[in-house]
Homo-oligomer: A and B are copies of this chain.
């Protein structure tokens, strides 16, 4: 049932009369997004490989002193190709193969920066609270096999690769982290960004496995633009987006894994609000499909033990600083979303709306420092 609707946007396209559709789109999405003319070879390859391929573009006004800074980003959403009880090495290999064939199509579409979904080399098994075999999916961010695999892709296609994995940090007692590895188009590991906020909601039992990230809010200056990675649950925290923006991010990726019953009505809101509030592009990515686990588990809601976390609803999209957004990818299929953006739009919108200029951050730094004190007295006015 939760899987039934293939895509909200195609449902609107199909049923809203042509006379009203532009207004509906303007109010819901900030207008019609320009469709990209993608190469026929890429479209047919996507069809053969059974994934959706969509392309959209955001433009900016031309300026006198800056040339357009046009970049193409790719967002990848995918199911796990093998069942969760297949051998760990086989599951990882199958995911590598699947991503490889999707990245090849991204390259045909001229993608400069590509981002995969959260913990992309594994099923999202944290719902089980079991340690083995799931912790065996963890790898070194610096020189694990997945990082090496991504370095090859980066060099081969001259593409920046964002690879969110389960990290094993041998230098610090072999701890686990939820980490995005950022790899330059040269193939060098630029650095890593760890998930700053860890959920304790529903079956998202991730706090059993890893702690809140300690890498702060790094931004990565790449040849194609200044980027940052806000992983999954950090999407719900406006201050997390803000600090990435304060450090200069023009594109903030949000690789995620989230399910329909929990968050689907929040999904179109939060990343888009972050794009508006911070004058930047945001790129939320969600996996698709339902993943079944051998051992049943309960959900802390009094209901019977069951074998899956629920339906990951995909719907990856890109939001622009002017409040407009692309349609979402499918709710049920693997997909690649190619989005062209002129990064000059960020400063243009900032100069128009002035949220940074009018933000009064000095006041908030003080207020927040007061508010976190254990004996903080809230400002409550009574009769």
Contacts and interface: CB of A to CB of B under 8 A. Distances in A.
Interface in A131-173: none
B248 A238 contact: no
A239 interface: yes
A265 B270 CA distance: 14
A361 B366 CA distance: 12
Interface stretch (A20-28, A34-42, A332-340): A20-28
Given A200-B354, A269-B276, A371-B361, A27 B15 contact: no
A378 B220 contact: no
A228 to B, nearest CB: 9
Interface residues of A, number: 86
Given A24-B8, A266-B323, A273-B273, A382 B243 contact: no
A378 B219 contact: yes
B355 A236 contact: yes
Contacts of A186: 383
Copies of this chain present: 2
Nearest to A23: B5
Nearest to A364: B239
Interface in A178-237: 182, 184, 186, 188, 190-191, 196-202, 212, 216-222, 226, 233, 236-237
A242 B23 CA distance: 32
A238 B236 contact: no
Interface in A359-379: 359-362, 364-369, 371-372, 378-379
Q: Which of A29, A201, A383 has the most CB of B within 10 A?
A: A383
Q: Which of A20, A264, A359, A364 has the most CB of B within 10 A?
A: A364
A12 B29 CA distance: 15
Given A216-B379, A381-B191, A381-B218, A367 B243 contact: yes
Contacts of A17: 15
B354 A27 contact: no
A281 to B, nearest CB: 15
Given A238-B277, A273-B269, A360-B196, A381 B220 contact: yes
A344 interface: no
A89 interface: no
B29 A4 contact: no
A216 B238 CA distance: 20
Contacts of A383: 184, 186, 188, 190, 221-222
A272 B270 CA distance: 9
B27 A221 contact: no
A222 to B, nearest CB: 8
B323 A243 contact: no
Contacts of A220: 380-381
Contacts of A354: 199-201
A324 interface: yes
A296 interface: no
A33 to B, nearest CB: 12
A286 B217 CA distance: 36
B201 A364 contact: no
A8 B29 CA distance: 12
A304 interface: no
A369 to B, nearest CB: 4
B237 A355 contact: yes
25 contacts: A11-B16, A11-B24, A31-B265, A198-B358, A201-B353, A212-B358, A212-B360, A218-B381, A221-B380, A221-B382, A236-B355, A237-B277, A238-B238, A238-B242, A238-B273, A239-B359, A239-B364, A243-B371, A246-B378, A248-B380, A263-B323, A269-B272, A269-B273, A361-B372, A365-B372
